[in-house]
Amino acid sequence: MNPIEYIQSGILELYVQGTATPQERQEVECMSHIYPEIKEELSKLEQSMEKYVQIHAVSPPAHLRSKILTNARKTILENKPTLETSSENVSQPETKVVKLTPTWIKAASAAASVAAIVFGIQNWNNARKVEVLSQDLLASNTNSIRMESELKEKAALLELSLAPTTNKIDLSTVKATAPDAMVSIIWDTKSDDVLLRVHNLPQAPAGKQYQLWAIVAGVPVDLGMLDSNATSTDIQNMKKVKEPQAFAITLEIEGGVPSPTLEEMYVLGNVPTKQ
């Protein structure tokens, strides 16, 4: 869908009028970042509605004014968001902890098998067996070294996802043919790191690949290609980005393109603005 078709689809009228769904609202806001003509159209629709409502204005009964204004200040000040509520978008730790468990178990069982082997050597004291077992031990060691580095990686990830400077952004579907498409992004405001996990995206057809974009100052910026073989438990490290307003994923020809193909947008999500 190009911007003109998008404008004609009627979604902008629904957005301004107020009956668009939260998902549609997010989509419109993101599209208005990307396309100035959509932003302009929104502004015209807003002005038209405002004027139309204005010319039907009716003065309210005078006694309502003091009723309404008496507690206005109190209402506003009592509902000021606190620091705690504004840091809501730090990612949920539970998911990460659950994800760590299998690795811990693997590491623990590797350690146990190493212990069993060492224990075995002492008992059996058989030269031939020792030789065979040494090879096993070596293999186990290599295995546990690999696991250790995996573990370190996970711990670093856990630390990053819990840091107060990170944002978790859920990218939800904008594609009617992929209603369950869902991708999560962790973006660190300090290091500008972007980590991505695909929860659900349709398998990319041969010759095609998903590409991640950030919208920065209204312009799409390439953040790299998604690994087509990644599973839903894999975390992918993407290109760094400063001050993104939104993230989006499009399906492009393998290797990527310099600017996104709008009709092939699958998911998008806005970066929450700090209050």
Partner 1 sequence: MEVFTDQNYLVARLKAGDEEACSFLYDNYGGALYGLIIKMVQNQMDADDLLQDIFHNIFLKIHSFDESKGFSLYTWMIRIARNKCIDHLRSKGRTIKIQNQEENVSVENDSKLSTHMNIDSIGLREIVDQMSPDLKKMIDLFYFGGYTHAEITELTNIPLGTVKTKIRNAMIELRKVFHIS
Tell me which residues touch partner 1 (CB under 8 A): 8-10, 13-14, 16-19, 29, 39, 42-61, 64-65, 67-69, 71-77, 79-81, 273, 275
Nearest 5°: CA angle at 70, between 66 and 74? 160
Give the shortest CB-52-to-partner 1 separation in angstroms.
Answer: 6
Q: Any idea what DSSP says for residue 251?
A: E
Q: Which amino acid would we find at residue 252? A: E
Residue for token pair 């990644």:
230
At 232, which amino acid appears?
Answer: S
Task: For partner 1, give the closer residue by CB, 53 or 98.
Answer: 53
Q: How far is the CB of 87 from partner 1 (least distance, A)?
A: 15
**C-alpha span between 62 and 191 (Å, rounded):** 56
Which uninterrupted H or E stretch holds 214? strand 208-216
| Residues 6+ positions from 104 with CB-CB distance below 8 Å | 151
Nearer to partner 1, 67 or 242 (CB): 67
Phi, psi angles (nearest 5°) of residue 27: -60, -45
Q: Which is nearer to partner 1, 26 or 211 (by Cβ)?
A: 26
H or E element, residue 24 = helix 22-34
Backbone angles phi, psi at 237, to 5 degrees: -90, 120
Closest CB to partner 1 among 49 and 100? 49
Task: Report the nearest approach of partner 1 to the CB of residue 224 (Å).
Answer: 27
In whole angstroms, the minimum distance from the beta carbon of 247 to partner 1 comes to 17
Buried b (16+ CB within 10 A) or exposed e, 35-68: beebeebbeebeeeeeeeeeeeeeeeeeeeeeee
Nearer to partner 1, 27 or 222 (CB): 27
Q: Work out how close the CB of 69 gets to partner 1 at its nearest, in angstroms, rounded to a whole number.
A: 6
**Residue 78 or 94 with smaller CB distance to partner 1:** 78
Could you tell me which residues come within 8 angstroms of residue 18 by beta carbon, excluding any fewer than 6 positions away? none
CB of 22 to partner 1, least distance (A): 13
